[in-house]
């Protein structure tokens, strides 16, 4: 007789997922999630058909809680190449950020480019090159001039290749007329823990000595950009401030560079 694995021991016979407290037993001793019993209106044990009880399996609840902190599980995308071993507590968060997840066109999500592309991480940059070539003009170190209008809302997203395509970043820019603010930020396409290893320097300047410079950490593409803008954990400049840097043609000169953070962030 084979010995059941920890995953099998923790699995509810009804939902087939890890049991969640309260865990209830049948008369024989088989356990299952109480929420599954209630939700499915089950009156007999699905394993042995004996009568269910209200007896709670506190020891199994404690065992599962302890195992979830130390037991290593494979990412759901392991078959695509993800090599991360995860605890149950970290698994769901990781899978939402994993570079092997399914991606949707960020141009459509952020900048309303009317694109329904879906694909893998390896195909993101090619998709932008093929379908949105104007959104691939920037590099990790860029010095540029942009025509800027403070009379209408505007959003722009650019994809930036880093380390010869080993990493990709999104440059995101927004003009918000209601808030009278302009925002810029950079997001790594990948895990939040990896994004913390990168930061950017962003500078606005004109022909005089005046300049405006911000240094900020990058975030992951899974971080809500609207929250980042609202909290101003980014480049955030008022319209009044921007007007000090516009030239006679209504253009704004800016430069930025993305860099690896050599210090550990705490």
Give the C-alpha separation, 73 to 51, whole Å: 33
Q: Do residue 221 and residue 143 come from a single domain?
A: yes
What lies within 8 Å, CB to CB, of 141 at 6+ separation is 256, 257, 258
pLDDT score at 206: 84
DSSP result, 64-81: HHHHHHH--EE-TTGGGT
Residue 28 has pLDDT above 80, yes or no: yes
pLDDT score, position 179: 97
**Which pLDDT score, from 0 to 100, does residue 265 have?**
46
Do residues 153 and 244 both lie within one domain? yes
Rounded to 5 degrees, what angle do the CA atoms 102, 103, 109 make?
145
What is the tally of structural domains in the chain?
2
Q: Which domain holds residue 204?
A: 136-260
Q: The domain that contains 20 carries what CATH number?
A: 3.30.40.10
Residue 1 has pLDDT above 60, yes or no: no
User: Is the same domain home to 65 and 154?
Assistant: no
Distances (CA, A) of 44 to 34, 36, 56, 129: 12, 12, 16, 58
Does residue 88 form part of some domain? Answer: no
Task: Provide, rounded to the nearest whole percent, the portion of the chain with pLDDT above 70.
Answer: 98
Residue 206 lies in a domain: yes
The last residue of one of the domains, among 36, 56, 71, is: 71
- Residue 217 inside a domain? The answer is yes
Q: What per-residue confidence (pLDDT) applies to 166?
A: 84
Q: Is residue 119 part of a domain?
A: no
Residue 152 and residue 263 in contact, taking contact as beta carbons nearer than 8 Å: no
Lowest-pLDDT range, 32-46, 49-63, 105-119, 144-158? Answer: 32-46
Say whether both 170 and 244 belong to one domain.
yes
Query: Is residue 80 domain-resident?
Result: no
27 three-state secondary structure: coil
Q: Which domain-ending residue is among 19, 54, 71?
A: 71
The model carries a pTM of: 0.74
Residue 118 lies in a domain: no
Asked if residue 18 has pLDDT above 50, the reply is yes
Structure confidence at residue 263 as a pLDDT band (50, 70, 90): low
Cβ-based neighbour number of residue 142 at 10 Å? 16
In this structure, what token pair is assigned to residue 30?
A: 């088989």
Mean pLDDT of the region 123-131? 96
Q: Tell me, yes or no, whether 159 and 254 share the same domain.
A: yes
- Confidence category of residue 158, pLDDT binned at 50, 70, 90: very high
Model confidence pLDDT, tens digit, residues 214-234 = 999 999 999 999 999 999 999
Cα 137 to Cα 158: distance, rounded to the nearest angstrom: 7
Which of 199, 203, 181, 194 lies closest to 252 in space, CA to CA? 203
User: What is the C-alpha separation between 28 and 53, in angstroms, rounded?
Assistant: 10
pLDDT in tens, 243-260: 999 999 999 999 999 999
Helix ranges (DSSP H) in the chain: 6-10, 34-40, 58-70, 88-97, 106-111, 124-131, 192-195, 225-230, 239-243
Pick the last residue of a domain from 50, 71, 92: 71
Report angle CA 49, 55, 61 to the nearest 5 degrees.
100
| pLDDT bucket at 264, cuts 50 / 70 / 90 | very low
pLDDT at 266 over 60: no
If one compares 142 and 42, the residue with the highest pLDDT of the two is 142
Is residue 117 in some structural domain? Answer: no
Order across the sheet with 211-217: list the strands.
141-147, 251-260, 198-205, 211-217
Q: Is residue 23 part of a domain?
A: yes
Is the Cα torsion angle 101, 102, 103, 108 positive or negative in sign? negative
pLDDT digits (tens, 9 = 90+) for 178-191: 999 999 999 999 99
pLDDT tens digits, one per residue of 84-97: 888 877 888 999 99
The pLDDT value given to residue 6 = 76
């Amino acid at each position: 007789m084979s010995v059941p694995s920890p995953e099998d021991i923790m699995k509810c016979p009804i939902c087939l997922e890890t049991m969640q407290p309260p865990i209830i037993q049948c008369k024989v001793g088989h356990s299952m999630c109480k929420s599954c019993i209630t939700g499915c209106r089950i009156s007999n044990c699905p394993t042995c058909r004996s009568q269910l009880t209200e007896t709670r399996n506190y020891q199994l609840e404690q065992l599962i809680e302890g195992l979830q902190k130390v037991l290593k599980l494979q990412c759901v995308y392991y078959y695509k190449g993800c090599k991360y071993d995860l605890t149950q507590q970290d698994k769901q968060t990781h899978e939402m950020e994993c570079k092997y997840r399914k991606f949707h066109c960020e141009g459509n999500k952020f900048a309303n480019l009317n694109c329904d592309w879906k694909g893998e991480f390896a195909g993101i940059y090619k998709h932008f090159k093929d379908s949105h070539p104007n959104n691939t003009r920037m590099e990790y170190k860029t010095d540029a001039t942009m025509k800027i209008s403070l009379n209408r809302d505007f959003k722009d997203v650019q994809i930036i290749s880093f380390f010869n395509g080993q990493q990709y970043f999104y440059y995101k820019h927004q003009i918000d007329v209601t808030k009278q603010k302009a925002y810029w930020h950079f997001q790594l396409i990948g895990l939040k823990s990896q994004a913390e290893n990168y930061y950017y320097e962003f500078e606005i300047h004109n022909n005089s000595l005046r300049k405006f410079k911000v240094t900020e950490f990058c975030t992951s593409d899974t971080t809500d950009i609207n929250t980042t803008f609202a909290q101003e954990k980014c480049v955030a400049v008022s319209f009044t401030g921007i007007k000090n840097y516009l030239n006679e043609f209504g253009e704004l000169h800016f430069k930025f560079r993305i860099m690896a953070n050599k210090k550990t962030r705490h």
